Amino acid sequence: MDEDHRDSIVPMWKRPRLARTPSLEAPSPAPEPRDLVSGSSGRPSRAARLALVAVAAVLASVTLVHDVSAEGKTPFLAEQLRKSTDYRTRTTAALSLGTTDDIAAVKPLCECLGDDKEVESVRIACAGALGKLKKAGSEACLKEHVNHKNAKVKEQVAASIKALGGGATAQLQCPSAPAKGTPKYYVGVEIGNKTNRPDSDIKPIVDKEVRCKLQTMARFKIAPTGATSPKDMTDVVTKEKLDGYLLQVTVDPIKYESGQVKVSVNLVMQTHTRNITGTMSRNAAIPGVTSPSKVDEDDLIKLLSEKLANDFAGQKP
């Protein structure tokens, strides 16, 4: 080696270390994913079976929630209340019916309350639901059971009646017995209240005047309270070959003006299948009444309700 180049040679141990360059070779191919659908024998693997069961359970729960939340909520709950073999399911169905705000819930709840074979807890739930529902027929049904033989059910009935604003009084009593004869018409009555007074004040007054007036005429058969749905009425109309009508009677807001109290009551006539056939309205006032008077208001409501019942009867000879 030339002496001129000796000084330029750097011993190996004195040379700086060079960083390793990452390998650029292709990575090993990933293992084939396991077949979740079938094992080596062609049958579903255990993992697949568990996954399918989980999916089926989710789908079933989604379907159930959809059904209960759909328009058929009340019929679904009523079916659960009538037919479930688990008293806990029936109890839940009863309580849920009380939150539907649907008048169709009155009938199954009332039937439950009157079922001597039903267990105590479910009947208590039905009584409580009627008090919460606050629909036409709720209070009348409860009052039929104010003397229930089961002390706890009786206690809940009284509490529900109180919640509705009423007292534990006897059920509707008409001054005259129903007329005897062959009916031609099957009539349902539903009451509406637009006043600022509780339903328990207004509805029994109207109900009594309309029902008691019509039942004195042999040509009318009156549907039980809470049994005025199209299906309920159609069953009777078809079986007994009658003409069916539903009367919706509504008391408008009571007014105090010009030194008098004014009351207006309206009646909408429909067939039992809910086809409107006519409307009527009656108004009356008592002069000299300038401050709220329940006595005067009640007198006017009674008068107008009876007159509307007569007006309807006059159209159905």
Write down all domains in the chain, each with its CATH number in brackets. 62-163 (1.25.10.10), 185-315 (3.40.50)
CA gap 98, 103 in Å, rounded: 10
Q: Which of 100, 121, 122 is nearest to 111 (CA)?
A: 122
Cα torsion angle, 246, 312, 211, 239, sign: negative
For the chain, the maximum distance between any two Cα atoms, rounded to a whole number of angstroms, is 145
Angle of CA points 6, 9, 12, to nearest 5°:
140
With tokens 């009876």, the residue in question is 306
Instruction: Choose the weakest-confidence range: 27-36, 128-137, 249-258, 288-297.
Output: 27-36
Q: What is the pLDDT of residues 72-122, one digit of tens each?
A: 789 999 999 999 999 999 999 999 999 988 888 989 999 999 998 999 999
Look at residue 317 and give its three-state secondary structure: coil
CA gap 126, 96 in Å, rounded: 10
Split at pLDDT 50, 70, 90, the class of 45 is: low
Instruction: Choose the weakest-confidence range: 8-12, 29-33, 174-178, 252-256.
Output: 29-33
- Whole-model pTM: value is 0.50
Give the mean model confidence (pLDDT) for residues 278-289: 94
Per-residue b or e along 47-62, where b marks 16 or more CB atoms closer than 10 Å to that residue's CB: eeeeeeeeeeeeeeee
Give the mean model confidence (pLDDT) for residues 208-224: 92
Residue 44 has pLDDT above 90, yes or no: no
CA gap 127, 28 in Å, rounded: 73
